[in-house]
Amino acid sequence: MKKNCAAASLSLLLYLCPLNAQLDSTSDSLFNQRLEEVILSSNRLETPLTQNSKTINIITADQIQKSGVTHLVDLLQQVGGVDIQRRGTGPTQADLKIRGGTFDQTLLLIDGIKLDDAQTGHHTLNFLPPPQMVARIEIIKGPAARAYGQNAFTGAINIVTKTEAPKTLSIDLQHGSYDQTNGSLYIGDTTEKTSVIGFVSKNTSDGYRYNSDYNHNQYFVKSSFNRHKTPLHMITSFSDRKFGANGFYASPSAVDQYEETQGSLVSLSQRHQLGSWVFKPKLYWRRGQDMYEYIRNKPEIYRNLHITHKVGGALDVSVPSKLGRTGVGVDISKVSIRSNNLGNRKRTMMNLFLEHRFYFFNNTLDITPGIAVNYFSDFGTHSFPGVDLGWQLNPNLRVYANTGATFRIPTFTDLFYSDPSTLGNANLKPEEANTQEVGIRFTKSKVTASVAYFSRKSKNLIDFVKDSDDSSIPFMAQNIQEVTTNGIDLELMHRLQFNSQLHQFKINYSYLNNSLEKSNYSFSRYSINNDLKHHITGTYNLTLSRVFDTFVALKYVERNSGIVYRVMDISVQLTLRQFQISFYFNNIFNTQFWESNLVPMPKGNGLIGVRYSL
């Protein structure tokens, strides 16, 4: 897409739009909405956001829609302390990290279903639903093993999908730089007893450099039955991706790599209330497939094929009493993998959870101790105790603190992988950490602000490391020495009306300081060299009229490796009756940067789209 065409289109839209148009009733309603109404559904003890004693960011469906993003990967990059390290355009392949953790230390959930992968966390984001299907996103920063078990080492992200939609049919088409072509179909229908929401999409591109083309297909269906009594929710989703993986995993000289991945999910979940008792049963099956060729279309030179299955069930129960509220839970799952590199292996996991929330001084002070006990068939039994403390100073101001232990067992890739540049280690120990956090949160309808300080002391962290930059020496999985991480998270959001226009500003700042003790390794593939140090994200949404929305996102990144970059994205949406025209511009200043330490990201690029809705 040529820059002069994009600039001319944007100028024309600004000229045609009535800047002083009145906001509609929907905007007024959103302006007055209070965040206290958001109940964290991923918790066993269902509590409003403002009464929670952890650092949590919420992204609402309205914020998702106004951002103009095509993929949730782009949206998550707008949250301070959430490090999305992409390898190319779109959601082709990206690693999810929170507060300096690795991609294996952050847990992704959809409607409370845990999507951890025993092979590797590289493909976790393959399971992200489309933005149109999302009711909100809950981003929990800090140790969450007490709530979810292993893999929630540094944080967790729970995607809450919509349970119903009015009768609708929406068709989207987008085209842009690098011959990016996106097409999707979104349908919804709700009756008294049932609701169905479905999404189908196909995204293709020739790529922005040699061997970076891709072809993505996604199917996502959410069905709800028995709506008039106790709804039963069913998710069926499938993601299929084929892409050139130029330099994704090996040295930058490995330009002909190729990969195909698949992600499938089937789940059943329900929330059932008997008096004051709340029961939340879940059943799920998760399948992942990863096929990798070192030389594209030449599998005889080097080829990996991994197929993983995870089958499980969970039950969470909460009940009130004179002493507060108690939550208990059990989660049992079985993981299997068939791989030409990792072998055929199995792992059984059983998790037990218990926590209780005590209230004191007319409910202004609450203390929530809890513990998770996990059993792994190949690593034995481990426990994660912790406690949260909250003090509600007034209806708008809350001080909180928490401390907890966390744990991650090695993936099958950590243990058994082998190729010319990478070696696993069957003698690895589990990762462990203890984290403490203190914070303060201020919440009103127009302004929310929070700041938190945390300290995490980790040991036996697993990384692929080596002592030399000699490409003939492979990276090997090791338990590197103790790492102490201190950091600050800050968020400020302000909404205001000026000249009948709605403005919304959001600023996030994250600071991380890692101290690696007694390390003998000079080169790391993931943890040591490429962590965030300073991370600033800012977004600005301006609703100019009922038909015109603009959104600006700015990201500043400084990494421990010395890499510094600034990236700005802009989206514009114009709604005309049943049509919506959208413009999305990425990296408008043509910044040259790397999110992964091997893959240069594309310079300025954009998409023009049209949506027709019935």
CA gap 39, 48 in Å, rounded: 4
Summarize pLDDT for 85-106 with one digit per residue, the tens.
998 887 788 999 999 888 889 9
**In 3-state terms, the chain is what percent helix, strand and coil (to 5)?**
10, 55, 30
pLDDT category, 145, cuts 50, 70, 90?
confident
| Mean per-residue pLDDT, 319-333 | 93
Summarize pLDDT for 399-413 with one digit per residue, the tens.
999 999 998 999 999
For residue 608, the enclosing domain spans 3-613
| Mean per-residue pLDDT, 565-585 | 95
DSSP code per residue over 246-274 = TTSSS-TT----EEEEEEEEEEEEE-EEE
What is the CATH number for 125? 2.40.170.20
Residue 416 in tokens: 């058994």
Residue 161: the pLDDT is 95
pLDDT(17) > 60: no
**What three-state secondary structure class fits 132?**
helix
Whole-number average pLDDT of the chain: 88
| Mean per-residue pLDDT, 183-192 | 95
Residue 23: the pLDDT is 39
Summarize pLDDT for 529-570 with one digit per residue, the tens.
567 899 999 999 998 877 899 999 999 999 988 889 999 999
Summarize pLDDT for 438-459 with one digit per residue, the tens.
999 999 888 999 999 999 999 9
Contact criterion met (CB below 8 Å) for 493 and 449: yes
Summarize pLDDT for 165-183 with one digit per residue, the tens.
889 999 999 999 999 999 9
Reported pTM: 0.90
Contact criterion met (CB below 8 Å) for 130 and 184: yes
Quote the number of domains for the chain.
1
Least confident of 140-149, 252-261, 326-335, 404-413: 140-149
Least confident of 40-49, 113-122, 501-510, 576-585: 40-49
What's the chain's length in residues?
614
Residue 474: the pLDDT is 87
